[in-house]
Amino acid sequence: MKQIYWLVFLSLFAKLNGQIITQSFNEPVISDLDRKFRLDTSAYSSGMPLNLSGQNCVWNFQNLMGTFPLVVDSFIAPTAAEGASLFPTATFVQHRDLYTFYRSSTSPSQTELLGGYTPSLTITFSNSAIIAGYPVNYGYNLTDPVSGTFKYNTTNGACNGNITISAAATGTVQLANNVSIPNVILFMCIN
């Protein structure tokens, strides 16, 4: 199983992810799990060390403590997902409460967000959101226009905007119990 390391921190409109990207075609494998813990940050009275950027950064999160509940997203085959017929080109689906449909391709080498589905909410992009074009290195920047429609119960509407992704830093993440994850790229995604 391919190992994917995600370092997820949510800010008002920004999401930072750290992932080891070692190949140009990089997507989760069906049956992979994305585990997210709530974090106790009380040991960082002056704030989390999130403002580091550049190359060879060291993010020291050794004092973070995971708290429950643990949130687990699973990666499943598109054919196993509710609403799959709306996203016939999807290559994998991330599922928790929402089925989120993605497509990865080798020509061009990229991963796209196609939309999402629950019985009460459907988001379908006619112009999908490119979330990564490979290879991704330090300094990578991408802004992609996104458009489509949504349906929430009986309300229909347009879904338009841009997604901006940048690889703002590279380095090592240090976690508790002497766990160290090298070669991490820190992404910033602004929706």
Q: Report the C-alpha gap between 17 and 91 in whole angstroms.
A: 21
Q: Is the pLDDT of residue 140 over 60?
A: yes
Question: Which residues does 42 contact at the CB level (< 8 Å), separation at least 6?
Answer: none
Residue 107 tokens read as 């020509």
| Band of residue 14 on the pLDDT scale cut at 50, 70, 90 | very low
* Rounded-to-integer distance, Cα 130 and Cα 179, Å: 32
| pLDDT tens readout for residues 148-157 | 999 999 999 9
**Rounded to an integer, what distance in angstroms lies between the CA atom of residue 42 and that of residue 125?**
40
Q: pLDDT band at 177, cuts 50/70/90?
A: confident
Query: What are the Cα distances from residue 134, in Å, to 36, 72, 141?
Result: 25, 26, 11
Using a pLDDT cut of 90, give the percent of the chain over it: 35
Q: What is the pLDDT of residues 98-134, one digit of tens each?
A: 999 999 888 888 889 999 999 999 999 999 999 888 8
For the CA atoms of the chain, what is the radius of gyration?
A: 17
The pLDDT mean for the chain works out to 80
- Residue 134: which of 54, 26, 55, 28 has the closest Cα? 26
Enter the tokens of residue 159.
């879904």
Q: Where are the alpha helices (DSSP H) in the chain?
A: none
Confidence of residue 3 (pLDDT cuts 50, 70, 90): very low
Range from 47-51, 115-119, 174-178 carrying the lowest mean pLDDT: 47-51
pTM of the model: 0.75
Alpha-carbon distances, residue 102 vs 42, 56, 167 (angstroms): 36, 31, 20
Q: Which residue has the higher pLDDT, 68 or 160?
A: 160
Give the amino acid at 114: L
Give the pLDDT score at 25: 52
Residue among 160, 110, 104 at smallest CA distance from 140: 110
Residue 187 corresponds to which amino acid? F
How large is the average pLDDT for residues 161-187? Answer: 87
Rounded to an integer, the average pLDDT of 21-29 is: 58
Structure tokens of 115? 């939309």
